[in-house]
Amino acid sequence: MAIRDRMSGNEAVAYAIKQINPDVMPAFPITPSTEIPQMVSTYIANGECDTEFIPVESEHSSMSATIGAEAAGARSLTATSSCGLALMWEELLVAASNRMPCALALVNRTLSGPININCDHTDGMGARDTGWIQIYAENNQEAYDNFIQAYPIAEDKRVHLPIMICQDGFITSHAVENIELLEDEKVQNFVGTYQPEEYLLNPGKPMAVGPYSVSNYAMEARKNQELAMEASKEVIIEVAKKYKELTGRGFELFEEYKTEDADYIMVIIGSAAGTAKQAVDDLRAQGKKVGVIKLRVFRPFPAAELATALKNCKAVAIMDRCESYNGNGGPLGSEIMAGLYRDRVFIEAVNYIYGLAGRDFTVNHVYDIFSELEDSVVNGNKIEQFKYIGLRE
């Protein structure tokens, strides 16, 4: 029996961590993820889990300590946001290249400047090429569900990569909503006991972690890491299937909402996907053939799968909650368009930048975007291929 409850997104992730009871959690507080280490340390103080909590002096250290603990053979994780993730930059690559299956609860927040504490995906997208698996959540329920699936994905022998479970700062992290929780025992059975094959605290089998690699070998290490990222796709799907057996809640690389006969599709990540779904229902009631694809897994990037899902529509709006400052579009826009071209899917594609630094994204914005797409296809009115929505006039 599922446990019916209500929680914020941060509470949901902290609760998942308590249930998983990982071995080590080094952390340094930063808004809006601060509550996660705060709540986990309360669980530890109350004897509800026995994770070793390491208070550190910076995020550079929290990620370093996470890697150290993971290398020693301990299931490890940390949590952060924004500038905290930026300060971990070097270590993120170290974690991935040393094939550490550690986890990170990322509560997405913009980066300076102007200094701002609110949500966008600048932090997560900035780390998109560090070799971490990235899974994004629409709401508190998905943040919880994704977190419980994190270690079975990361620790799989075909993968052995670190995993980032992301949710939108404040919008879901600080919003109290309904949620269904699993019993502790079910979570523990699902996640299982961590049994690393090779680890530092194993006197019978000495090893080195992170030694220098000469150019004759380093490139092969990178290729193996890339292959592991590719392999993680099927593992993510397998784990989701098992999770569905347990909970009834199904997950894929992305969710297709009313896209089957859709002429116009919006591809979007995170909490705004819920807003888009509501708008789609409203427009469907008016007879508009519109749909939403909510991208859950950004790394590995399901380029071919997205091209297939989009090939029968007339136009797609690709939504980036992140500016790349390249004069060419956001990260999701660039990657989807490249994937469409590679699979020879030639549809109208517009890359919208929305919701930067907490700018609200509403059902009205979604109506406007679909109306613009339709106008472009039906009346041949040209739209800029890369534009902002929700900007002050």
Residues that bind other proteins (CB under 8 A): 6, 32, 117-118, 138-139, 168, 170-172, 174-178, 271-272, 274-275, 277-278, 358, 360-363
CB of 269 to other proteins, least distance (A): 12
Q: Are 358 and 119 in contact (CB under 8 A)?
A: yes
- Residue 6 or 222 with smaller CB distance to other proteins: 6
| Sign (positive or negative) of CA dihedral 317, 323, 326, 331 | negative
Minimum separation from the CB atom of position 354 to other proteins (A) = 11
| Cβ closest to other proteins, residue 73 vs residue 390 | 390
CA distances from 196 to 56, 137, 207 (A): 25, 28, 13
Q: Where are the alpha helices (DSSP H) in 127-170?
A: 140-154
Q: Shortest Cβ distance from residue 30 to other proteins (Å)? A: 14
Rg (CA), the chain: 21
Which residues lie closer than 8 Å to 227 by C-beta, 6 or more apart? Answer: none
Contact in structure between 271 and 246 (CB atoms under 8 Å): no
What is the nearest approach in angstroms of other proteins to the Cβ of residue 384?
24
Q: How far is the CB of 275 from other proteins (least distance, A)?
A: 5
d(CA 276, CA 279): 5
Helix 140-154 to helix 215-247 angle (10° resolution) is 130
> Which residue, 114 or 380, is less far from other proteins as judged by CB?
114
Q: How far is the CB of 270 from other proteins (least distance, A)?
A: 9
Tell me the C-alpha distance between 305 and 252, whole Å: 11
Q: What's the sign of the alpha-carbon dihedral 296, 112, 392, 349?
A: negative
Considering the complex, state which of residue 81 and residue 97 has its C-beta at the smaller distance from other proteins.
81
* CB of 225 or CB of 278, closer to other proteins: 278
Question: Which CB atom, from 44 or from 363, has the smaller least distance to other proteins?
Answer: 363
